Structure 1
Amino acid sequence: MKGHQAAELDDFKLKDEATVIRDVGLGQVLEVEAISEQERKVLRKLDIILIPLMGVCYMMQYMDKLALSQATMFNLRQDLHLKGQEYTWTSAVFYFGYFAWSWPSSYLIVRLPLGKYISVSVLVWGGILMCHAAVKSFGGLVAARFFLGVGEAAIAPGFSLITGMFYKREEQPARQSAWFLGNCISTVIGGVVAYGIGSIKIHAIASWQLLFLFLGAITAFISFFLLILLPDSPKKAIFLTKPERAIAVQRTLRNKTGVLDEGLFKWDQAWQAVRDPQTWFLVLYTFCVNLCNGGITSFSSIIINGFGFTEIKSLLMQMPLGAAQIIFLVLTATLATLIPNTRILMMIFNTIVSTIGMILVWKLDEDNRKGRLTGLSLGAVFAVNIPLSLSIISSNVAGFTKRSTTSALLFIAYCVGNIVGPQFFYASEEPYYPTGMKAAISGLALGAFFLICLLGYYVWENRRRNRLFGVPGQMTESQELALGLSSMTDLEIEGFRYVL
């Protein structure tokens, strides 16, 4: 096997240059000596431009998701005459759109220029959010929510792929968490923004309509910055010089996860993703915890209002949820970065914290407002596992097509969980939703179980590979770089070991 793999690498290195038409070619990459200071300069540029760009975009994505829940405090349900479970379905249908477009999006992400595809998706989503202000009925809101899900489907998987392209495996947890910080900030400031908009009195337009117009316009505006600055790949980053692009390519080749194989969808890699046990442990975990997420995202304003706060003050009381997420995000991302092989342990910890929080909301006395709000804040902590789970995909799934397929399956599970979860929040049980609380707690507990299974699988598989192939040895630089460019998958690379 080792001889066969070495021969494949030799064949790859001897391919005719015409088959590798790249602005930053293999020869140029091999010629670059990425001196530590040069590499640090490239890393600083990436951190200064890419992370804030993705962070602001992701912040707007979650603010736009929260907008529907916040709009209920401005009489959206009354103005559109929503009855029974109709509001629940307007929340869930967003994820039908997200689900419907996840698989086509995983194909288009590979076939189209990645940065341009994400930028156009953001522009479409901003435009559709503005269209929410024009809806007059349940049917119109359902249609708007469905297409909003279509517009947002490419964002998180696309950002995850970009992070894997530009950052080393050990750098990825901190960077995934850095742009995901936008999600937490949106929870903190989203209520303040909605509160401010609610304080504006315009007789010609309702407050909930103004909320959708304001957030949609900002989102569409951001898309133009993405179009200019968000690169399709390291070789096309306009903010890097040509030598810096070569350094950007070289520094991530040691990930052995493929960085330059965009443009061709490989069906054998897609099939590998479907057969890989790690895919299904991640999928099952994602589905289970999003039974809770669907409820918190859609009903947080109503639940907090049930604690005894006024409608407008309920928007401000969402701030502790974001604060708790920021604290746990910084804590667990820092530990996962500083202490090797602790990513899954940090995810298990966050999930258990959220389980305890939701139990507090369910079991504490109705007049214990502070205790129940604390529980709801802790219940939202599991959401900070998203960047850690994305970093697991970008670090442990090699092959561009396999990685995009795995990301698509993960986000399909995310959609299904968010569709199913709100169905347990019955209108007849408002505002305490005991059935919804039980479903959320059960989902979080099962999520922790599947993470334990994933950890066990990685440990077992690494040990199995060590027995079969021996502990990975030091490769020559040319072999290492050729392997990084070869687009082989983690199942095909004998020296590949999973990070935990």
Structure 2
Amino acid sequence: MTEKDENHRYLEDVDDLKEVAPSNTREVNLGQMLEVDATPKEERRVLWKLDLLLIPLMGICYMMQYMDKLAMSQASMLNLRQDLNLQGSQFSWASAIFYFGFLVWSWPSSYLIVRLPLGKYVSVSVFIWGGFLMCHAAAKNFGGLMATRFFLGVGEAAIAPGFALVTGMFYKREEQPSRQAGWYLGNCVANIIGGVVAYGIGTIDSSTVTNWQLLFLILGAITSGIGIVLFIILPDSPATAIFLTKRERGIAVQRTLTNKTGVLDTGSFKWDQAWKALINPQTWLLILYNFCVNLCNGGITTFSAIIINGFGFSELRSLLLQMPMGGAQVVFLLLAVAVSSYIPHTRILMMMINCAASMVGMILIWKLPDSNLAGRMVGVSIGAVFGTNVPLSLSLISSNVAGFTKRSVVSALIFVAYCVGNITGIKAAMCGLILGIFFLILLIAYYVFENRRRDRAYGLPSEVAESEELADELSNRTDTEMPSFRYVC
């Protein structure tokens, strides 16, 4: 079968397809979209438009999300703890409560993200999260800071899962690792420029507001502005993208039909799919992996400036010295994406390599003497590269979990594990990274076993009739229900 045949499927009776498609799919004139006969040049133009608009937009938004997380650590270098009279472990609790808010809202968000228009729900969440960030400037004591941190976590709960679902809607399985990494690159950029921004704000001489209040107000206002832009541009599905022509929307829908993961299945929450997500082995292996590796993320993210300050650097210089962390993440992210994009079945392998590199960084922080500042700074920088596994982990979900409800539930559970891991202390980092690699090994073993079992039971995927394969995509069935579905490692 040629690439053109693979990408552009047609059935003589489109009405048959409408019967197996979700109701909201029929509302966007599925028949006309399936009958679009796109040329390779037209398909490349659609892909170019998606890359030019969607990826930078989501990347900038995700950059702000991470800068907002770093803001708490940076504000501590700008006298937040002294001004709010935080005692003992109160700063740690105020930092951790963010993840509790994220955790509490993750499950309701997985329901709403299916029931409501995806693009609009994510955009409103971004706008609200920016507002909650600005509210930090109004905190007068520990209680006020705890409240704003909790609701900031609520506001951010929909962002990363929502962007992962958008990527799965618009891109083929083989395209997803690089595109997930494309918007996640904003996270790395935030590490590089976040310290510079905080340093600049820290040098502002103001008699009306403190520097840490300015930090929250400026970052929050920018974030809410981005939320307004997202509301206008971010589509709910390929069939409603305002930056594509009617014909290009049809091409965008056709491009991802071979994913068999559902691109137009939004509108109703399938409780049977939620149950299938809970009993699927890959769900729990991904949950255990994300929990384990994030045992050290809270310390690296929330306390990075404090850790560097503890090495003997001044408060403002500690903000600038966060930049190497972002540089290391960019290098490892680009390397992992390049390898996984051009060498098949290497996504999980690259995730294991990144975890091993972070272990080396943690060992340097742990074992090097206090006098070896350069070595310990290298350890801090490399210790954060496990975070570059996030886009690869999300690409596994968007490629290997079929059924929109099931995919949203799995994404929510992954970020629940992420939050719980962040709430725990940094002392468990080494064990967490080792266990993370162990669960990745189990995950790849499960994928290989399941693919071979299906090959024996149902034959190779290439033997499946085109009409049956396309019907699978439009049926809103899960990956465990489709004999032609194969997992990507």
1:142-161 correspondence to structure 2 within 5 Å: 142-161=146-165
Given the superposition, is the C-alpha separation of residues 480 and 273 from structure 1 closer, same or farther in structure 2, using an over 3 Å criterion? same
Residue 10 of structure 1: CA displacement? 11
Residue 409 of structure 1 corresponds to 413
Deviates more, 1:465-474 or 1:268-277: 465-474
Range moving further from structure 2, 93-102 or 472-481: 472-481
Name the SS for the 1:274 alignment partner. helix
- Specify every segment of 5 or more residues in structure 2 that has no aligned partner in the other structure, as ranges: 1-12
* Structure-1 residue corresponding to 2:432: 443
Q: Partner residue of 1:140?
A: 144
Aligned positions of 1:158-237 closer than 5 A = 158-237=162-241
Q: What is the aligned-residue RMSD (CA, Å)? A: 1.6
2:55 alignment counterpart: 51
Q: Which residue of 403, 425, 443 corresponds with 1:454? A: 443
CA distance in 2, matches of 1:378, 1:23: 49
The correspondence for 2:280, drawn from 276, 280, 283, is 276
Deviation (angstroms), 1:13: 2.7
CA–CA separation in structure 2 for the residues paired with 1:139 and 1:18: 47
Q: Check conservation: 1:257, 1:399, Cα contact below 8 A.
A: yes
Deviation above 3 Å: which 4+ runs of structure 1?
9-12, 16-24, 474-479
Offset from partner CA, 1:196-250 (integer Å, 9 cap, x none): 0001010221110110001001001111110110000011000001111011001
Q: Aligned in 2, Cα 1:481/1:94: closer, same or farther, shift over 3 Å?
A: same
Alignment partner, residue 34 of structure 1: 38
Q: CA deviation at 1:465?
A: 1.2
Which amino acid in structure 2 is aligned with residue 383 of structure 1? Answer: G
Q: Is the 8 A contact 1:344 1:451 kept in 2?
A: yes
Aligned position for 2:478: 489
- Structure 2 residue matching 1:367: 3-state secondary structure: coil
Q: Distance in 2 between matches of 1:19 and 1:88?
A: 48
1:499 is aligned with what amino acid? V
C-alpha distance after superposition, 1:285-304 (max 9, x if no partner): 10111111011111111110
State how 1:338-357 maps to structure 2 within 5 Å: 338-357=342-361
* 1:177–1:388 CA contact under 8 A, matched in 2: yes
- 5 Å-filtered alignment, 1:250-265, equals 250-265=254-269
In 2, distance between residues paired with 1:335 and 1:494?
29
Structure 1 position 486, deviation (Å): 1.1
Which sections of structure 1, spanning at least 5 residues, go unmatched? 1-8, 422-435
| Alpha-carbon distance in structure 1 between the residues aligned to 2:394 and 2:417 | 14
Shift of 1:445: 1.2
Counterpart of 1:370 (choices 370, 374, 385) is 374
**Aligned-pair distance for 1:21?**
5.7
Task: Report the 3-state secondary structure (helix = DSSP H, G, I; strand = E; otherwise coil) of the residue aligned with 2:480.
Answer: coil
For 1:424, the equivalent position in structure 2 comes to none
SS at 2:462's partner residue?
coil
Aligned-partner SS, 1:473: helix
Match of 1:472 in 2: 461
Equivalent pairs: percent with the same residue?
Answer: 67
In structure 2, give the amino acid aligned to 1:205: V
- Contact 2:64 2:190 survives alignment (8 Å): yes
Deviations 1:258-311 (A, max 9, x none): 111100100010000000000000000101111110111111111101112111
Q: Is the 8 A contact 2:60 2:186 kept in 1?
A: yes
Q: In structure 1, what residue type is equivalent to 2:486?
A: R
1:449 Cα shift?
Answer: 1.0
Q: Does the CA contact (< 8 Å) of 2:77 and 2:305 recur in 1?
A: yes
Task: Show the counterpart of 1:360.
Answer: 364
Give the conservation status (yes or no) of the 8 Å contact 1:76–1:208.
Answer: yes
Q: Is the 8 A contact 1:165 1:233 kept in 2?
A: yes
Cα deviations by residue, 1:372-425 (Å, 9 ceiling, x for unpaired): 00011010000000000000000000000000000010011111111123xxxx
Following TM superposition, by how much is the alpha carbon of 1:20 offset from its aligned partner in structure 2, in angstroms?
A: 5.8
Partner of 2:337: 333
State the TM-score, normalized to the length of structure 2: 0.95
Aligned twin of 2:103: 99
Question: How far apart, in 2, do the equivalents of 1:12 and 1:420 lie?
Answer: 52
Distance 2:163 2:213 in 1: 30
Match of 2:247 in 1: 243
Aligned equivalents of 2:452, 2:22: Cα separation in 1: 40
Does residue 1:286 correspond to 2:290, yes or no? yes
Residue aligning to 1:6: none
The one-letter code of the counterpart of 1:316 is: L
Give the 3-state SS of the residue equivalent to 2:259 in structure 1.
coil
- Report what 2:318 is aligned to: 314
SS in 1 for 2:235: coil
- Alpha carbons 2:18, 2:31 under 8 Å: kept: no
* Distance in 2 separating the partners of 1:460 and 1:37: 38
Please give the alpha-carbon distance, in whole angstroms, between the structure 2 residues aligned to 1:298 and 1:62: 11
